Amino acid sequence: MASFGTACRHHHSVRGQICGMFSGKTHCPSLRRGERALESCYGFVSPSGRVRRARAGERRRRALSEFLCTLRSVTTQRLKQDQSPMPDQRPGLFIAFEGGDGAGKSTQAARLAESLESLGFSVLRTREPGGTPIGEKLRSLVLDHGHGTIDPRTEALMFAASRAAHASQVIRPALAQGAVVITDRYIDSSVAYQGAGRDLGTVDVRRLNEWATEGLEPDLTVLLDVHPGDGRDRRTAGDAAEDRLESEPDDFHARIRAAFLELAQARPETYLVLPAKDAVEDLAAQILRRVQDLLGSRT
């Protein structure tokens, strides 16, 4: 049996192994060797390769069925290994704030961090793009005007690169130490802005980011839902100039809003969706209550 395991590792695609073996058309030499070794050990092919026809029949049928069972379990195991994200052994809690520009995420993220700290929790507040030295450099490259044309795929990769560093260097280590990590934006922002806003496709952009983060997902996403017009009014009320993304027209921001709401509808158990125009105090109280529930259910 071990020889078959060795044979598997030589082959490129597990799916290919299954198709090839079950249709009897494998061309992989190491797989063929594994098959012959098995046949030989069950006695219906001599080590020299000559078929002992007289000993075929029932014995051969049983051996072949056992062989296929082993094959199925080895390949199923390999498929699981290939597809499963990095194992998550995290005692902390991971919360992402999402929403259109001008939704007030930063204010609510700061409020939540203060409340949790005053309750004695260890809290890490961070943001995207950014959160690491390389991420902050990428942030200014991708958001500031004046770096020439940044095409949508380049833009998506820059956000994903910042996120990869953020997830591996900051978020995972903090979660492993038991902290509550609060991030201002995460994967959903890329799915909404680059997938829907830039029209790159939400499925492809999600896949890129799952790869970048090795499958690290928030325990809770707080979505502050803002109408594009309200968001623009809030942004332009201050002195700060709009960045590359903020300065896109309202229909771009409308696509983003719809994409965020769709994401929340698809997995309501991990989202808290609140209208951004509600009073700051009310929003803060609702968010804290939901997070306390989550923390309570874990102790």
Residues near ligand TYD (CB under 6 A) are 101, 106, 127-129, 143, 159, 184-185, 189-190, 193-194, 243, 245-246
Q: Name which of 8 and 112 has its Cβ closer to ligand TYD.
A: 112
Q: How many residues does the chain have?
A: 299
Q: Name which of 39 and 155 has its Cβ closer to ligand TYD.
A: 155
* Cβ at position 185, least distance to ligand TYD in Å: 4
* Cβ at position 87, least distance to ligand TYD in Å: 25
Please, what sign has the CA dihedral across residues 138, 144, 149, 154? positive
Strand ranges across the sheet with 180-184: 123-127, 180-184, 93-99, 220-225, 271-275
Beta-bridged to residue 97, according to DSSP, are 184, 222
* Cβ at position 279, least distance to ligand TYD in Å: 20
Tokens encoding 131: 């959160």
* Cβ at position 115, least distance to ligand TYD in Å: 20
Judge whether 270 and 222 are in contact, CB under 8 Å.
Answer: no
DSSP for residue 113: H
Q: Name which of 31 and 143 has its Cβ closer to ligand TYD.
A: 143
Q: Name which of 125 and 127 has its Cβ closer to ligand TYD.
A: 127
* Cβ at position 175, least distance to ligand TYD in Å: 19
Q: Name which of 143 and 291 has its Cβ closer to ligand TYD.
A: 143
Name the strand (E) or helix (H) holding 97.
strand 93-99
